[in-house]
Amino acid sequence: MAECDIKLLGSWASPFVLRARIALNLKSVAYEFVQENLGAKSELLLRSNPVHKKVPVLIHGDKPVCESLVIVEYVDEAWSSGPAILPADPYERSVARFWAAYLDDKWFPLLKEIAKAGDEEAKKAAAEQVTESLLLLERVFEKSSKGKAFFGGDGIGHLDIALGSFLGWARVTESMNGVKVFDEAKTPRLAEWAEVFCADGAVKDVMPETPKLVEFAKVIFARMKAAAAAQ
C-alpha cells in the first residue's frame, strides 16, 4: 500500500498520539504524520473525528480510526505480519486492556495533579499517590513480563505502549517539579524497563525530547494560568 494511503493525524507532544506511532513502527508500517494545530483544528480532523474532535486519528485508506488504544489494537489486527502487540491468550489480553484503562483513568490524572498542585504539601501528596500506583504496576510488571524485558515479554506489547507513552511527560514532571516519578529505589524494575523501552528502535525516534517538551509544557501552563486569572 502506498505511503499516502495511511495517515496519522496528531500532535508531536501528545502521549496518546505517541501510542499510535509506536504501534505503527513496531509493525514497520509506512505512514504520513500530519501535524495538527490543536488551536485551529483542520477540516480533515473535524471530519474524521466528529464526535471528540481530537487526535490521534489513523486514516487507513479512507477509513478513520479514533482513540489511541483502539488505534493500537487496530494496527495490531490490520498488520498481522509484524510482531503481535496484544497477547494471544484471551485472559492475558483482558489483563493488558484492564491495566491500560487504569493508566488512562487513574494513573495519568494523578501525574497531572503534581503539576497542578498549589503548594509543596499538595505536590508531595500527589507524588506519593503516583508512587503508590507505580508500586502496584511494578507488581503487574513482575507478573506479566515473566522475568523478561517488557510487560509483553521479549518485545513491546500493549501495556508497554500504554505506559511508555507517558514517559516523556513523566520526565517533564520530574524536571519541573523536583520529584522522582520512576524511582530506582522504589520501583527498580519499572525504572529499568523505562530505559529499555525508550531505547527500542520503535520508540527512540518518536519519543519527544525532554527539553523540548518542557518548553512546550511551560507555554501550556502559562496559558492555563492566564485563562484561570481571567475568569
d(CA 3, CA 89): 32
Q: What distance lies between CA 32 and its chain's CA centroid?
A: 19
Superfamily assignment of 6-79 in CATH?
Answer: Glutaredoxin (3.40.30.10)
Distance CA(162)–CA(97), nearest Å, equals: 9
Q: Decide if 186 contacts 134 (C-beta within 8 A).
A: yes
Average pLDDT of span 7-28: 98
Provide the residue ranges of all domains of the chain, joining segments of one domain with +.
6-79, 90-215
pLDDT (tens digit per residue) in 98-154: 999 999 999 999 999 998 887 889 999 999 999 999 999 999 999 999 999 999 999
Instruction: List the single range of 53-62, 109-118, 219-228 with lowest mean pLDDT.
Output: 219-228
* Mean pLDDT value of segment 166-176: 96
Output the nine-digit C-alpha cell for 88. Answer: 494471544
Read off the pLDDT of residues 70-95 as tens digits, 9 standing for 90 and up: 999 999 999 998 899 999 999 999 99
Helix locations, 61-166, DSSP H: 68-78, 90-102, 108-116, 120-145, 158-164
Q: What pTM was estimated for this model as a whole?
A: 0.95
Mean pLDDT of 210-216: 97
CA distance 69 to 174: 26
| pLDDT computed for residue 231 by the predictor | 73
CA–CA separation, 102 and 159 (whole Å)? 10
With H, G, I as helix, E, B as strand and everything else as coil, classify residue 171.
helix
Residue 59 pairs with which residues in a beta bridge? 7, 64
User: Cβ of 224: how many Cβ atoms within 10 Å?
Assistant: 12
Place of cell 491500560: 100
Confidence of residue 1 (pLDDT cuts 50, 70, 90): very low
pLDDT of residue 4: 58
Residue with cell 473525528: 49
Q: Is 210 exposed, middle or buried (0-12, 13-18, 19+ CB in 10 A)?
A: middle
CATH fold of the domain at 90-215: Glutathione S-transferase Yfyf (Class Pi); Chain A, domain 2 (1.20.1050)
Is pLDDT above 60 for 158?
yes
